Amino acid sequence: MSARFLQIHTLTSYPASLLNRDDAGFAKRMPFGGAVRTRISSQCLKRHWRVFDGENSLSTIDAPESIRSRVSFEKFIVEPLVQEGIPQNVARAAAAKIIGKVFGGEAKKDKQEKAEKKGKKKAQATAPETGDASAANADVPVEALVGEIAKTAQVTVLGRPELDYFLKLAREAIQEGGNDVGKAEKALDDRIDEKKMKENIKALMPGSLEAGLGAALFGRMVTGDILARTDAAIHVAHAVTVHSQMTESDYFSAIDDLLREEGEQGSGHINASELTSGLFYGYVVVDINGLVQNLGGDRKLAADVVEKLIHIVAKVSPGAKLGSTAPYAYSHFVLGESGNAQPRTLQNAFLDPVRTQGNVVQNAAQALAKHLLELDEMYGKSELRAHAGLGETDKLFDGKTNLVKLADWAKQQITGDNQPGI
């Protein structure tokens, strides 16, 4: 019998870094327990986990990818059609039509055409009798109206199966219209039935995989009725330091090498930025049933995802200011819990900021172990646990192992082989 939830808790230390900035360029922060803490947003963490390209990356899983962009239709519909010899303006007109159908409302080109017609009528009503074609801009060709890159108003999350389906629709409509913009659009209007399109997209892949692996894991919010909304199966908290924020202003200068050779003193540029250091508590919850459902009922695939997720969460760092701070770190401590009870964060172990005197990692681990013991005493222990950690964490927590075995243990929680011992 597999568990309902898998919880992953981490302690990770980053020295002299600026991992996640706000709109003013300062480190993101959050008041907690009466003290200001440094913070890494969940959006930042998830992005770096999604795009990481290396050992145990999500890209090594045999599943269609999710494309997160405003120009997905340009890249995966317009460009392939143009490479096939279809005129660019025709390809973009078809893409614009599909965008309008899929995301609701009118396509950008349709709105432009209506605006042109409205402007023409207004100009005709007010223009002098001699007539001035430029006043009404009446003869704007269709090609000019679709000359822009095909893009959506906002970033969208689309699966490769969905984009391949839209490409097929556009290609068939253009072929039917004989490379004529108007005929291609009419063919799309005739061809696209929202209910039928929704059913066709659903049939592309099992579960939520038509939207790609990223959407199946981290969810997607969509407007309109054609694309299916996908609830996130992996829930990620903002990572927050276990102690009060530690920050320093980093004054720096850029030296002009050529002027320096000519004897000029000083620098070509002077500025300052904020640097922080801290031990962050991270928290991730895997809704196992939701993950299996999003992956079309494929429990083995879900287990592979979770196994890789353990490695990614523990070893993949946010990639900010790489050249000047090299902010790469592995977690000091990773705790896995599996069970059926509602998940609960262990961040409250650090409501009182951890002392930074002495070994801050050991202080944090002790606070975490104490809080976990108190939770067990109050609510009872219903979770299976295993952990990997540096130092003597086996004196504070049961089930110590290394990260590879911990990842395998987490995988077993999905397959149902969840034995308490490691």
DSSP string covering 375-420: HHHHH----EEEEEESSSGGGTSS-EE-HHHHHHHHHHHHHT---S
146 band by pLDDT with thresholds 50, 70 and 90: very low
Phi, psi of 264 (to 5 degrees): -75, 130
Side-chain-facing half-sphere of 321: CA atoms under 13 Å: 19
Distance between CA 162 and CA 155 in Å, rounded? 16
CA distances from 183 to 83, 112, 130, 145 (A): 21, 18, 35, 16
Cβ count near 149 (within 10 Å): 12
- Give the residues across from 14 on adjacent strands: 278
Residue type, 15: P
266 band by pLDDT with thresholds 50, 70 and 90: low
120 band by pLDDT with thresholds 50, 70 and 90: low
**Quick check: 383 pLDDT over 90?**
yes
Name the pTM for this structure: 0.85
Share of the chain above pLDDT 90, in %: 61
Provide the strand spans (E) within 176-330. 234-236, 239-241, 246-254, 269-287
Distance between CA 67 and CA 213 in Å, rounded? 10
Alpha-carbon dihedral 407, 410, 415, 418, rounded to 10 degrees: 120
Give Cβ neighbours of residue 200 (< 8 Å, ≥ 6 apart). 165
What is the arithmetic mean of pLDDT over 186-198? 82
315 band by pLDDT with thresholds 50, 70 and 90: very high
Which conformational region is residue 136 in: left (phi greater than 0), alpha (psi within -120 to 50 degrees), or beta? alpha
Distance between CA 211 and CA 65 in Å, rounded? 8
Cβ count near 249 (within 10 Å): 8
Share the mean pLDDT of the chain: 86
What is the arithmetic mean of pLDDT over 381-395? 94
